[in-house]
Every structure is written in C-alpha cells, then in structure tokens.
Structure 1
Amino acid sequence: MLKMKLVENICLTGALLLPGIAVAQQSMTETPNILWVTIEDTSPQFIGCYGNADAKTPAIDQLAKDGVRFTNAFSTGTVCSPSRSCIITGVKTYKTGTGNHRSEYPLPNSIKGFPYYLKQAGYYTSNNRKTDYNIANAGEFTKEAWDESSENAGWWNREPGQPFFAVFNFVDSHQSRTMTFPFSWYQEKVLDQLDEEDQIGDREFEMPPFYRDSPAMRKQVARVYNSLKLTDNKIDQLLDRLEQDHLRDSTIIFFYADHGEGIPRGKTNGINLGYRVPFIIWFPEMYKHLSPWGTGGVVSSELVDFEDLAPTLISLAGGEIPDHLDGRILMGERRSKPADHLVLSADRSDNGIDLVRTVTDGKYVYSRNFMPFMPELRYIRYMEIGEIKQQMRKDLAEDKLNVLQKSLFLERPAEYLYNVENDPWETKNLVNDPNSKEILEKMRAQLQKEILGARDVLLLPEYELALVSKTTSPYEFRLDDQNYPIFNVYEAASLSGFRGPKITEKQVGLLSEQNKLVRYWGIVGLCSQHANDLSPFKTSIEKAMDDPYPPVSVTASAIAFEEFGNKDAEEKLKRFCADENLDISLMAINYLLYATNKDPFVETIRAVHEMSGRTYNVKAACMDFLGSMGLVPNNMKYSE
C-alpha cells in the first residue's frame, strides 16, 4: 500500500477546481505556458541523472532524458532568501543589498518582481507558495508580482485559455528535513511516507570524503537521499496533474534547486557545493524550436545563474525587459551570447556573519574569503541543532577526523581554487599550485572587475546598511561615489584575509584613514592576522577601541581582548553584546564565538539572551555561544 501522502502544498484532484472553470487544452500559440518546479537545498551530486547511481529520482531523471540537462547552473547565493531575492528581482544581491539572509532592506520602486512583467504580457501568474524574498514591504511586492500566491495557487485558477506561469516549490529536500529537525521527525515525515522499496538504506551510497565514514554519519547522510526520493514522488504527481489537464503538450517545464545541498559544508558556504544546482528545461514538441540546445537528453555545459531567469521568462512571454536586468536571455529569438564566467556571492546566514565572492567558468571555482578567521563550519544555530553537525563536533573532539575533515573547523585561507571537474568534492585547494597560476590570476581580475563595476554594496557592514535604508535603498546608495567611494573601500577590503607582517602593517595604517568604511575593512582584516604580527601594533589596535564608528570599535575590542587580554576591551565587548543596535550586538557575539577565553562573557550572554526585543539572530548567537561551552544542550533551539 502506498504510504506517501498526497502532495501537501498543491491540489491534485479535479474536485477542488473552481466551479465553472474548465481545464481545456491550451490553444497552439507562440506564447507557451511555463511551469517552474523548484526544490530546496540540493546539489547535482545527489541526483540520478547527474551521475549518482545510488539516488532514486526517476521523475527528475525522466525530465532530463527528454529535455536539456545543464551541468553548469549556479545559484547566486548559498542560502534561501538571498537566492530567492535574486530570482524574483533578476538582480544580483550585491547590487540590491539583499545578500544577508532574512534582512528587510528596501528596493527602488522601479525594481519589481519579474512575474509582474509577465502579467503585463497577459499571463496568469501563480506561486505555490514560498516567497522569502528578503526585502522590505514584501507583502505589497508579492501582491504586485502574482495573481495568486498561496498553498492553493496553480494554473487551474486562470481564465480559460489564458497562458500561465506557475511556480511550485517542494520543501521535502530542505535542510530541515536532511539534517536540522530531530531524526524522529524525519522518520515520521519523510521515511515513513516512502514505500520500503523506495527507501535508501544507510549503506547504499558513497559518502562525501569530507565526512567521516561511520554508521552515525551514514544514518544522517541517508536523510538526503530519502528526502529527495519523497520530493521526486511529489514532482511526479504534479507532472501527472499537468498531463491530466491536457497541458503538458503546451508547457515548458523548468526544474531547479534554489541552492546547494543543505548539509554541513554545502548550504551557507561560498564554494561550489553551496552554489551549483541541478537545472533542467523540458520542451514540448510545440516549443522545441525555442531550444538552442536541442532536446531529448541533451546535456549543456553553458553557464547559467539565477540572474538569467527573469529576462529569459519575460522574453518567452513577449514582454519588454526593463533596464535594470543584466542577466542573459537563454532561449528564443532574443537569445544572448553565452557567458564565459559567472560571479556569485555568499554573505550572512542567520547568525553566521560572512562575506565570500566567487568566480566560476564551470571547470574551476575560485572563492575569495574576506572573513576567513571563521571556519567553513562556522556557528549557525540552525545547523548546530542538527545531529550531523553535533556528530562532527564530537568526532573532532575525539580526534577521529582526518586532515580534510578537520580542516572544516579551522580558519580558512583567503582564497580557494578548485578544479571541480577533477575534484568534485573540493578536497584540493590549487591556490599555491604553480600550474594553476594563470587561471588564478585571471579569476582574481574577473572578480575585481565585477566588484568595482557592480559597486558591491555588501562591503558595507549591516550596521551601515540599516542606516542607509532609512533614507534610500542600498541599490541606489551604491551609485553615490561621494558617500560610497567604492575604489577606496575595495582597496582596503582586498587586503582582508591575506596574512603576514607586511599586510598587517598596511591594515594598521588604514585605521587612521578618514573614511569609516576604510577603517572598518582595516580592522576586519586584522582579525585574520596572527599574534606575532599583531603584537608590534598593540597601541594602534587598542586606540581603535575608541573609534567613533561602532563596527570599528567592536572589532578592535575583540582583537584587543583575544590577543592582548585587554580588560577595557572585555568591558566594552560586554556592553556591545547588550547594545540596543542589534547589528552591533550580533557582531560582538559573533566575535566572541571564536574567542579562546569565553568565560568572562557567560553571564553577559545569558542576560542578552533573555533581553526583550532581541532578534532571532542575536538569540541564536547567544545559544551557539552557550552551546559551544556545554552550558546548554546543542539540540536546544534559540528561544528555549
């Protein structure tokens, strides 16, 4: 007996169709119906048609067999809300300022959700149902973009014969299922929904090499495979509904994931495993002429990222593409020239502050870590409560991890360069490989050109983004060279992460600059320097504790306490943790998460956690702090 429940977030029975609206076959026209099937937190390595013989994903595999499978498709962020911000606006997050997970900064009025332009072209637009657009005024923005956005939304609510753009988002592969929620929850909501022959056992797959191959870890990784199998079953039901409604032969189907796999080292991390996604386009016979790649199992290595989706869809619908969209048109008469590289980005995820910028040509992935004093597996409460992360920390404490596996918990280098064709799990950093020098220098130059050309606004600390957003949008602010001298700011930021006495001296010199953002990047850069290189500059660093710009003062205090045991720094950090400005509070607590001596701050952190008005991120950081010291169980959520 089939155990799987009916799809939770779509209606699969004709009984729920609105009265009086018949489902008729779409008339043959040059205006296609468009169906988006999106899944969450999934990397290609875990799907059958991408070469994983252990996966059970027949519905997805069949789309690839009949359609076009892309091997070089990338999310422009590595966590959901920034990724979806780029998808819905068609604009990179380092232009809109929406790269930090779950922030609410405004957009200019001229930037609308791209389905708005499909509506103008006569389409019925429906979203079932996730939004998570990471912007201010999300309700009005969503209402303007969609005819309907709800758990009941679908093509069945349109006018008879009206072309549709319908999005269905399946959550069963989300990180909550694959690692965060308790195993008992996964057992009930995922595993028990699968027939026994559909289940993937703990010994029925290969382990990624950056995980210890143990029964405890295999129990956790199996969750990925079974969650994807449940997802695949639900996709099959959706496609069957499309067929039953006689619409399959007039609908172009897009399938993709919102970013990489929701397991430690994937999601939230600025490497290939965080960015690269499965991406398939299926064309019915009626619209095969629109595919420049052909159909029927074609595999394309063309570079695609989420910036390309909005202009492609507007073009398919016959709409006018607004000036703010810089992505490519992938298909049709207005198809753009293929790209030779992409620039991607990863920033804060929940309470885990970070800033990574990445360049890829498909074969190589170069990532620039601007805050490498934090490890790849930095403290993020939503991950810390997962059993797999706890098991990894336990294995680390018991010295059971090999060199690669331990490296996930150590400071990062300033740069990564991986050849993902030869090294798909990113185990060998080629930055110091003389044979890779040419590609390294090329990608460094490509990244610098994009940061400066796009005027990357996320070089601002969030404290500043919040101030800016009171009077304008980050998107518009970044264009003001007087208030945002990007060349000076980037020159300072470009040093951050690189280590050694000469770099240290330059960064200390930046602390006396007039521009507060230059001073900020000077002090952030010093966080990556080692004690021997910092000690000659003790006086300058301690002086920076009194800088009038709070992000500088917080960071200088963190360094002075960690490296010099400065008592004034200790007191300042306690006050910063409790600061009424929650961006400053989060910044201070994040620094303390990686402090060698946390004991003086325990009572302060306990008190901050109990303060009213603290955000999720601040409370989550407090819980990570206390959990790292064994003072609360690591499976406790932030609010407990």
Structure 2
Amino acid sequence: MKKNRLITISLALILSLSSFVVLGQQKPNILWITIEDTSPQFIGCYGDENASTPVIDKLAEEGIRFSNAFSTGTVCSPSRSTIITGVRTYAMGTGNHRSNYSIPDFIHGFPYYMQKQGYYVSNNFKTDYNVGNEKQFTQEAWNESSNKAGWWNRQSGQPFFAVFNFNDSHQSRTMTNSYEWYLKNVWEQLPEKDRIAEDAFDMPPFYRDTPEMRKHFARVYNSIKLTDNRIGDLLAKLDKDKLRDSTIIFCYADHGEGIPRGKTNGINLGYRVPFIIWFPEMYKHLSPWGTAGVVSDELIDFEDLAPTLISLAGGERPDYLKGRVLMGKERSKPVEFLALSSDRADNGPDMVRSITDGKYIYSRNFMPYMPQLRYIRYVDIADITNVIRRDFQDKRLNSLQESILEERPAEFLFDIENDIWETRNLVKDPNYKNVLSRMRKQLDKNILKTRDAHFLPEYEIGLISKNGTAYEYRLDNNKYPIKEIYAAASLSGHRSKEVAQKQVALLSNGNKIIRYWAITGLHSQPREFLKDFDAEIIQMMDDEYPPVGATAAAIAYQNFDNNAAENKLKEYCESENMDIALMAINHLLYVENKEPFIETIKKVYQMPGRNYNVKAACLDFMGILNLVPNDSEHER
C-alpha cells in the first residue's frame, strides 16, 4: 500500500516537472511590459531624437523592433479586451469603453491556458478587460492579479508569464490631470538631468506651436521618460534575480498617444504602437525575424498575442482564436492587411472601421457629424484641449489644425509611410484611386466576413447581453442580417441629395437596425439635402425603436426648428435607459441652439442613478455654456 502511494506521488511529481519542460528544454519565462497611451513617434528608437528612452531603445537595439504594430482599438478597455481574450471587440461587442456586456462562457483569458501548461501567470496589476463579470473572469485567468504580483511567487523552477503595466505615460499624466498634479507626480519624480524642457522637441503640425501649447505638450515627453526609468528598475530586478538569460521580453503600448487627435480617434495616431520583443540567447531560435537590432515591417496586432503566448507555453489554441502565432514552430503566415476599430470612448460615441497595410491606412467614419476632437469629458477638462478650442474660436489655427474640430469626411486615406502625422487626406486624389478602391473592398469584405457586432447600436447590445451575448447573436442571420444592415450603414457619412433619398427610403424598412442606420446617416447630411424630407424625418420621432426616435428628434430640432422635437429630446435625456439618455445628450452637444435644454440637463445631472457617461455628457454640455457646477467630479 505504502509502495503504491510512493509510486503515485513520484508519477505526479514527474508529470508536474515535465509540464515545465518542452522537448528536454526549459519553457521560456515571459516578461510582458505594457505602457499606456504611447505612440512610436515619441520613442527614441523609432526616430524621435528629442525623446529620452534609453531603456526601451536598448531593448530594441538588442531585440526586434516592429514598425507596423497596431492596437486593435484606440482606448484602454477595448484594447485590453482583445489582448486578454484574443477576440476582436467587434466580434464580441466589447468595443465601447467602458462596458460590461456578457461574453460566451467558452472564452477565457489566455493565461488560463498557460496555467494548464504549468506556467505561473501573474498580472501587476491593471485589468480593465471590458467584459461582464470581470472579477470572476480575472480570477480564472491569473494565479495572481495585484500590485504585489510577480514572478517571485511561483514554485521553484516553474516557468512564469508576468505582466507589469506602467501607467506613468497614461493620458491622466500627459494631459488630463491638473498641471500642478503633473509637476508633483511626473516632473518632480525625474532627476533634473532627465527632465525635458518645453523648447526641446518638435511640435506635431496639427497643433499650433505656441509657448502655452509647448508647456502642456512637454508633459508627453517627460511622462514617457519617467516610464522608461520605471522599466529600467524592473529589468534591474530581473537581472538581480538572474532570470534575464531565460526570459523573453515583450514591451509595447496599449494604443496610441493620449493627446487630442490620438487616443480615442480611429486613425494611425490612435492605433499604431511601439512594440519590441527581446530574446535571450537560449531562445533566439524562436525568432523568425533574426536576432539583435532587427527592424521588422511585419503587420501584427493584438489579436495575435493570445495565440502566440499559448503556443509559446506549449498549449493548443482554442478554435475561437483567429489571430496569428507570431513565432516558433507553429508560426502563421504573415498577413497583407489588418482590420482595426474604434467605438465609444466614455461619453463620446463613435464608430470607425479601418484597414491598414502598413503603408496606407483607410478609415471609414460612420458618424462623421462629430469631429476628431469630439466631446469626451476626460479629454475636455484638460488644459491642452481648452487651449485648442479657444484658439479655434479665436481663428488662430491653420486649416490642418482647424480640421480636428470640424466635421469629418466619410473616409480618410493617409500615406502613413511618408505622412506620419496624417496631414493630407488622399481620398479625392486621383493618383490614389486604386489604393482607395483596394482598401474599400478589403474593409467591406472584413465587415461582412466577421459579422461586425457593433453595427448594432449599443442600446441593442445592452438588451442582448441580459440573456445572451452579442458574439453569438451576430452569427444568426435571421436575427442579424448583416448584409442588409451594412448596405444601409455603408451610406452613412456620404453627403449628397441622392444618398439622402436612399436613406429616407430605408426609414420605412421593417428592420429596426436598418432604420437606425438610415436615420444615423441622415444625421450627417447638410441642411440643404434634408429640407425636402422634413415630413419623413419628423414622422420618425415616433418610431417605436428609441435609437431611431432620439436621432430623428435631433435632426428635426437642428434642421427644422421643430417644437415637438425639442420636447422629444428632453424626454430622451431623462430616459431610465442610460444608452438612450447618453445618445440624446450627445446629440445636444452638437446642435446650435442649446439654450432650451439647460434646465433639463441640470436636472438630469442631479438625478439619482445616472451613470458616469451620462453625467459626463451633462458636464460637457454645461461646459460649452460655461455652466459647469462647482461640485462636478473630473476623475474616474
């Protein structure tokens, strides 16, 4: 009996130890360094001579630097949703920041699969995964997720996957928090020799170059410098623990720079990220790109991370993961295009779908009646935003600088290889007709193939999530006829009398989502193309589907001075459904005559049960009219 028990214990020990080893070789340790809200344009190894990022630069010098790495989204929680699940937000309905909609039970955080291969997985410590029941989801994914988590809590000899998130470059540091807060928490945390002066860098051309703007923009460089110092401290600890020679290091940002026109905005500046992989000698054979100092233009995005890490751990990737394995024996073939997306950020709804081949980026704006710098409270409380809006009002900006505060075109096409700041939209340039056609076709193909769930308004995703998931709902063509819905949505943003006629004809469609896209498209039409359709639009204010009624009321109020529309909008602002209330208040941010709604917005702001986004939209409305109450809260 005792002998059998010893045999059982010995077998268990052997199996446990074997899970740490693949083909006689120790599985690689993996250190994952994520930095927040950072674009490669502000990193030294990516060509910015004004930046001071020696630690990141050294990793690139000794590792692989990727010039075409992209976040799948442009704001924190949607990006992290794809990172942790490996599933794109437009497949799960998790693209709106922040939300907590249900996802299928079979979708797990990818470290869950690494645990099954013997890895100790730790997260230090940001989650922000944007999924329903996030607490349980997080507990299942990680052995430990806390501000004390790290490789030091694993078993002796156990391979680790350790994530460290550095928030020193977050938008709160670069622009949102007060300048006094920045001085204390960033500037004074830097040794004097590390501080970057306000005249020591080039300003992006889409900003007016003034001393006041430089004062605020210097925060970007100093926040990134502090981040680089923190990374250096972490790597010193890895060296002290004698683990560098067995650890693959990933270092990347969660999306683009946290500045006006960057983060939350569906162009290259919002999507493109710095991304570096460093291999120790022991694991250089896993790199398909070569070894030290390599620059790769291979297209990669966050959908590729989960399958790559599961493969590195020796696991079998689940069928629902559609991204590539980037390295090792199971490496997938490189792709020619990446599909990217940008949706609501806090109280600022939006919908952009993008395609890039690394040289060009094509972005389709489905709600272009809002500018690139749309009203988002977290952005609008920043000094730099206030300076931009004031200069716009005072007519001190050039045409490029003004464009970020004006209505967008339906389409952007930028040559991001030669025009890194995206200053020239090539959509109407006949020399790029073939490029534009190719990008359009690729975007259409991807939307239909993936059955993009975000062509459902968020109101509908919320209803679906009560008893199911958007991920599964979108796969049922009877419930979600994506081809017909997309045909209506694809008109949105194109401004002409002919397109307006087609959209008006769709207002009588029996499918509520098609009607929603018809009225949303009409919202982008100028008054001159709407004047002959006032009766049809006014009639839609009584549509049984609230997203249609609210949008029709906004159009009727703005363009036809309709008294009934004013009353309808007030009712929608007070809706118990937060998605409808937010939609109505957001519409009011862009109407010309706001005076009739002041008391309603003040009332809604004080109503109990209003969520952050609704209250933030109320504050934006009052801020436009210089009526922000003293008790308003700025921080999340």
TM-score category (smaller protein): over 0.9
2:288 to 286, 292, 309: 292
User: Aligned with 1:630: secondary structure?
Assistant: coil
> What corresponds to 1:587 in structure 2?
583
| d(CA) in 1 for partners of 2:396, 2:439 | 36
Offset of 1:335 from its aligned partner? 0.3
> What corresponds to 1:632 in structure 2?
628
| d(CA) in 1 for partners of 2:634, 2:391 | 24
Letter in 2 for 1:285: E
Offset of 1:397 from its aligned partner? 1.4
Offset of 1:632 from its aligned partner? 2.1
> What corresponds to 1:269 in structure 2?
265
**Aligned 1:451-530 pairs, distance under 5 A:** 451-530=447-526
* Long gaps (5+) in structure 2: 1-19
Contact 2:378 2:635 in 1 (8 A): no
Offset of 1:631 from its aligned partner? 1.5
1:256 to 246, 249, 252: 252
| d(CA) in 1 for partners of 2:420, 2:612 | 35
Per-residue CA deviations over 1:270-298 (Å, capped at 9, x if unaligned) read 00000000000000000000000011100
Contact 1:384 1:635 in 2 (8 A): no
2:349 matched to 1:353? Answer: yes
Per-residue CA deviations over 1:437-481 (Å, capped at 9, x if unaligned) read 111111101111111110000111111001111111110000011
**Aligned 1:221-620 pairs, distance under 5 A:** 221-620=217-616
> What corresponds to 1:179 in structure 2?
175
2:96 matched to 1:100? Answer: yes
Contact 1:77 1:275 in 2 (8 A): yes
Contact 2:257 2:269 in 1 (8 A): yes
* Long gaps (5+) in structure 1: 1-24
| d(CA) in 1 for partners of 2:341, 2:170 | 20
User: Aligned with 1:603: secondary structure?
Assistant: helix
Offset of 1:29 from its aligned partner? 2.4
> What corresponds to 1:72 in structure 2?
68
Contact 2:267 2:363 in 1 (8 A): yes
Letter in 1 for 2:583: M
Per-residue CA deviations over 1:543-589 (Å, capped at 9, x if unaligned) read 11111111000000000000000000000000100011111000000
| d(CA) in 2 for partners of 1:277, 1:616 | 28
- Count of equivalent residues: 616
Letter in 1 for 2:542: D
Offset of 1:413 from its aligned partner? 0.1
Identity of aligned residues (%): 64
User: Aligned with 2:273: secondary structure?
Assistant: strand
| d(CA) in 2 for partners of 1:634, 1:564 | 35
| d(CA) in 2 for partners of 1:615, 1:488 | 33
| d(CA) in 2 for partners of 1:299, 1:407 | 34
Offset of 1:637 from its aligned partner? 3.4
Per-residue CA deviations over 1:394-450 (Å, capped at 9, x if unaligned) read 111111111110111100000000001110000000000111111111110111111
Offset of 1:638 from its aligned partner? 5.1
User: Aligned with 2:274: secondary structure?
Assistant: strand
Structure 1 residues 626-635 or 227-236, which shifts more? 626-635
2:119 matched to 1:141? Answer: no
Contact 2:63 2:293 in 1 (8 A): yes
| d(CA) in 1 for partners of 2:371, 2:381 | 18
**Aligned 1:120-135 pairs, distance under 5 A:** 120-135=116-131
User: Aligned with 1:400: secondary structure?
Assistant: coil
| d(CA) in 2 for partners of 1:364, 1:123 | 39
Offset of 1:633 from its aligned partner? 7.5
| d(CA) in 2 for partners of 1:634, 1:221 | 27
Structure 1 residues 346-355 or 395-404, which shifts more? 395-404
CA RMSD across the alignment: 1.4
Compute the TM-score of the two structures, normalised by the length of structure 2: 0.96
Per-residue CA deviations over 1:113-147 (Å, capped at 9, x if unaligned) read 00000000110000000000001010110000000
| d(CA) in 1 for partners of 2:620, 2:226 | 32
Contact 2:381 2:634 in 1 (8 A): no
